[in-house]
Structure formats: structure tokens, C-alpha cells
Amino acid sequence: MVAYKSKAVERIRLPGRDERERALEEAGYNVFALAADDVYIDLLTDSGTGAMSDEQWAALHRGDESYAGSPSFERLESAVADVMGFPYVIPAHQGRGAENVLYGSILSEGDVVPNNTHFDTTRAHVANQGAEAVDCPIEGAHDLSAAESFKGNFSVERAREAVSEVGAENVPLVISTITNNSTAGQPVSIENTRRVRAFADEIDATFVIDACRFAENAFFVREREDEYAEMSVADIAREQLEYADAVVMSGKKDGLANTGGFVATRDEALFERCKSRAILYEGFPTYGGMAGRDIEAMAVGLREAVTDAYIEDRIEQVRTLGSMLEEADIPTYTPVGGHAVYLDAGSFYPHLDSSEFPGQVLVCELYREGGVRGVELGSFAFPDSDRPELVRLAIPRRTYHQEHFEHVLETVKRAYENRDTVDGLRLATEPEIPELRHFTAELEPVSR
Ligand code: F0G
């Protein structure tokens, strides 16, 4: 069922094939360096790229820009309390700002942090505190076709192993990322969340949920966890977050906003510690690096994100693209997760070694064939890891329609048909921080 019609539109253009070839070469075969105007359908990320509702645009005008005590902040506080159940909120300029505030207030040198899977910025903030990030995905999380319901779950067994190595006193923080972005956007069950809560209690750690896509996660809980089949997504979301001491949130995802984020908690002492750090890095704790008008848009967006009409439309869109690709026998990660469809570039190009970046080759082919921009999440983005060679096609919220997806399908099909003819890539420049190289490195084709 369609839940929206358009009130404003934005012109897009498919550059000619020659132009695309040239743009790709000038970008050093790295689509982060493309001008967005040269991209026809942009599936680089679902973060901050969605369309706001008329209610959000209207709310912008209510934005109050007072340095302290803005009524816009009060409206955010009440949205976070109603939707997520936390009484204390500190805005931040975006999710990673919130990570800095919260994780910097909890961690110290030598600590170890278990997480179902750390998102890139989370891993970097943990490392920035001198702590070690330990991924604890469940067995089968990287199996591209295992028909499990909750492939994003947190493996308490793996986390327990990490604790037994370093001692509970060095594990002050446990994180669960819902949905699990670095594991193909797979959901996390409430049963698993309860187990993580119990584990955190056992080792006396703070339990944080990375709630960037909490509404999408709640949809899957309703669909797949019997106990919740009759509940509203709003009630499920609140129940899942009830198990956490705090959340980090990027308003650019399930806040349905173009910018912003926050830390929210029910722990008053932690809130006080975070406030001091927020003043240092983000801003006074009632605005935290955000304009009052953006706070208003995020407060409205949070409430919209947990309405059944929104979330059903959202997940249906992502699944529609997934099913179209599956029906065309394109190798993808299944089941499809909450915010993106992941292509299995390893199966496209078995003749390419991981050192030739098959995922990045596919990203370039999608741009070359149809002006579609996706992102590589394989050996280019994660050097020295044994992760599968995936390409993420992230779907911005409320932005694209069936016709766009049909173009994406045709583009992917053409890339698949040409799969035997393409060459690999190699690094032409190597940025200083290898973990962040996929944002800025330049590449060049390897001719056979
Ligand atoms: N946590 C998760 C799970 C994320 O997916 C992101 C961002 C962040 C934290 C950081 O939030 O961007 O507002 O600073 N993910 C985006 C993506 C960038 O494309 O997946 P941010």
C-alpha cells in the first residue's frame, strides 16, 4: 500500500555513457568523489538523504534558536520520552557526535567493548578512547543465504569469551546495534536484547543500544517474534529500548531528518557525565550542535518513524527491490534487511581476487551502466577482514519509487550479464588511515 504522494520534486538527470566514463575516471574509480549531480539514482546511504514530511517542514518554522532552554529542545525531550522511553536527552550534531559524547564518558584506555557488530564510526570512537572493539555476531551472520529470522543478533557466548580473557572490570560497556548495519541491516530480536541485558548485569556493564534504525528493527520483531505479533511497532520499539541504559541515535536514519542525533538515557549520573563532555565537543546540552529548527524536524520525524503506515511502506520498498533482484537471479544477501539490499559481488566476479576489490568493481559497473551509486562493503572498506564482498544499495526514506527501482534492476542486470568481461582495480593512492581509505583512496584498473 502506498503511503505518500509528492508535494515537492527534485530534478534528476542520467548523464550520457561517455560522461559517466569520464566522471568515473576523474573520481579515481571511487564513487565518493563523484558530483551528486552526475548520479542518477543515489543509493550510497540511507543517512540524512530521505524526504521530510510536510509536518516536518512545517515544524522547521517553529524552531527556536535560543542558546539555552529552547522550547524546541523540550519538544525533542517529550518525543524521545514518548517514542523511546528515556527521560534524559542530549542532542548532538549527528550519530557519531553522540557516540563521542557517550562512549567518551564511559570508556578508558585498555577497556574492551563487545558489540554485535561495530559500525565504522563506533569502532573508531571506541579505538579513540584507547579501548578495543570486539565484534560478536552470531554464527551464520556472514552466511549470505541462511534463512534465519534474526541474523543481526548479539552472540553472548562470544562476548563472554572476550570477558574471560580480559576480566569483567575491563568491560564497562556492551553495545547492541539495531538493526545491525554492518551485518546487512539484519534485525535483532527482543529475546536476544533481554539476554544482552542479563549479560551486562552479570558483568556490571552499561548496556547501550545503537538505535539508529530502531523502528525498522521493531517491524521485524513484530513480523518474526511470535510474542509481539499483535503489538504496534511503536509499542515494540519502546519495549526493546526499555532493556538499555542508554541509546546513541543518528536522527539521519529513523529520526527521518537530514541531520542531527542524540544520546538518551535513564541513568542520571551518566547523563551528568555526558553533559560535560557534550559542552566540550557538541554545544550546550539543550542544542548540542543542532539548530533549533533541525531539532524540531527530528522530534516530528521520530514520532512518524514508529507509525505503522510509515514503517510498512518503508520496509515494503526495500523488500520490493530485493525481490525484483532475486527474481532476476542476481546474487544478494538474504533475507533482505531493513535499510538496504546487499549484492554479493564475490559471486559476480569469482575470477577476481579480493586484492582486486570485486565489490568496488561492481560499484563502478553500476555507475557506468546506469548512473546508480552504491557503496562497497568488502575488502576495499575493510582491509584484512574475512567479510564477504558486498555492495550495499541503501534506500533513502520516502525518496524513490517503483520506476527508480526498475532502472536499478535493469542496471544491475546489465552489470551481471557483463560480469565475465570486467577487470579488477588496485589502489593508486593510499590514505593515511587504512580503516577510512574507502572514502578517499583513488584506484585504477588492473588490465589483464
Ligand atoms: N551507528 C550506525 C549503526 C550507523 O549506521 C551510523 C551511520 C552511525 C552510527 C553514525 O551516525 O552518520 O549520523 O554520524 N551510518 C551511515 C551509513 C553513515 O551510511 O550507514 P552518523
CB of residue 252 inside a 6 A radius of ligand 1: yes
| Pairwise CA distance, residues 430 & 335, whole Å | 35
Q: pLDDT tens digits, the chain, 448 residues: what are they?
A: 789 999 999 999 999 999 999 999 999 999 999 999 999 999 999 999 999 999 999 999 999 999 999 999 999 999 999 999 999 999 999 999 999 999 999 999 999 999 999 999 999 999 999 999 999 999 999 999 999 999 999 999 999 999 999 999 999 999 999 999 999 999 999 999 999 999 999 999 999 999 999 999 999 999 999 999 999 999 999 999 999 999 999 999 999 999 999 999 999 999 999 999 999 999 999 999 999 999 999 999 999 999 999 999 999 999 999 999 999 999 999 999 999 999 999 999 999 999 999 999 999 999 999 999 999 999 999 988 888 999 999 999 999 999 999 999 999 999 999 999 999 999 999 888 777 899 999 999 998 6
CB of residue 212 inside a 6 A radius of ligand 1: yes
Instruction: Give the Å distance between the CA of 49 and the centre of ligand 1.
Output: 12
- Our separate counts of H helices and E strands in the chain read 16, 14
Which set of grid coordinates corresponds to residue 350? 569469482
Helical H runs in 86-227? Answer: 95-106, 120-128, 156-166, 190-202, 214-224
Per the omega criterion (within 30 degrees of 0), is the bond before 179 cis? yes
Phi, psi of 363 (to 5 degrees): -55, -45
Q: Is 192 left (phi over 0), alpha (psi -120 to 50) or beta?
A: alpha
Instruction: Give the Å distance between the CA of 47 and the centre of ligand 1.
Output: 7
CB of residue 374 inside a 6 A radius of ligand 1: no
Contacts of 189-192 with C-beta under 8 Å, sequence gap 24+, read 189/149, 189/150, 189/153, 189/221, 189/224, 189/225, 190/221, 190/225, 190/227, 190/228, 190/236, 190/239, 190/240, 190/243, 191/225, 192/150, 192/153, 192/154
Which set of grid coordinates corresponds to residue 11? 530534478
CB of residue 218 inside a 6 A radius of ligand 1: no
User: Is residue 125 within 8 Å of residue 111, measured between CB atoms?
Assistant: no
User: Is residue 317 within 8 Å of residue 342, measured between CB atoms?
Assistant: no
Per the omega criterion (within 30 degrees of 0), is the bond before 358 cis? no
| Pairwise CA distance, residues 147 & 49, whole Å | 30
Q: Which residues of 167-193 are buried (b: 16+ CB within 10 A; e: fewer)?
A: eeebbbbbbbbbbbbbbbbbbbbbebb
* Nearest atom of ligand 1 to the alpha carbon of 180: 3
CA atoms within 13 A on the CB side of 153: 21
Phi, psi of 122 (to 5 degrees): -65, -50
CB of residue 214 inside a 6 A radius of ligand 1: no
Instruction: Give the Å distance between the CA of 338 and the centre of ligand 1.
Output: 14
- Ligand 1 atom 19: the closest Cα is on which residue? 45
| Pairwise CA distance, residues 150 & 360, whole Å | 28
- DSSP code of residue 423: -
Q: What pLDDT shows up at residue 448?
A: 65
Instruction: Give the Å distance between the CA of 142 and the centre of ligand 1.
Output: 20
The position carrying cell 533541525 is 294
* Nearest atom of ligand 1 to the alpha carbon of 375: 19
User: Is residue 33 within 8 Å of residue 431, measured between CB atoms?
Assistant: no
pTM of the model: 0.97
Instruction: Give the Å distance between the CA of 19 and the centre of ligand 1.
Output: 31
CB of residue 121 inside a 6 A radius of ligand 1: yes
Which set of grid coordinates corresponds to residue 395? 534506500
Instruction: Give the Å distance between the CA of 120 and the centre of ligand 1.
Output: 8
- Ligand 1 atom 15: the closest Cα is on which residue? 47
Domains observed in the chain: 17-39+308-445 (3.90.1150.10), 54-305 (3.40.640.10)
CB of residue 179 inside a 6 A radius of ligand 1: no
CB of residue 183 inside a 6 A radius of ligand 1: no
Give the DSSP H or E segment for 402.
helix 402-417
Instruction: Give the Å distance between the CA of 59 and the centre of ligand 1.
Output: 24
| Pairwise CA distance, residues 352 & 270, whole Å | 49
- Ligand 1 atom 10: the closest Cα is on which residue? 95
| Pairwise CA distance, residues 206 & 244, whole Å | 8
| Pairwise CA distance, residues 126 & 407, whole Å | 40
CB of residue 288 inside a 6 A radius of ligand 1: no
Query: Could you give the dihedral angle defined by the CA atoms of residues 400, 260, 121 and 265, in that order, rounded to the nearest 10 degrees?
Result: -120
Instruction: Give the Å distance between the CA of 17 and the centre of ligand 1.
Output: 32
CB of residue 217 inside a 6 A radius of ligand 1: no
CB of residue 260 inside a 6 A radius of ligand 1: no
CB of residue 250 inside a 6 A radius of ligand 1: yes
Mutate to test the pocket of ligand 1, among 32, 44, 93, 121 (most ligand atoms within 8 A of CB): 121
User: Is residue 233 within 8 Å of residue 220, measured between CB atoms?
Assistant: no
The amino acid present at 375, given as its one-letter code, is V
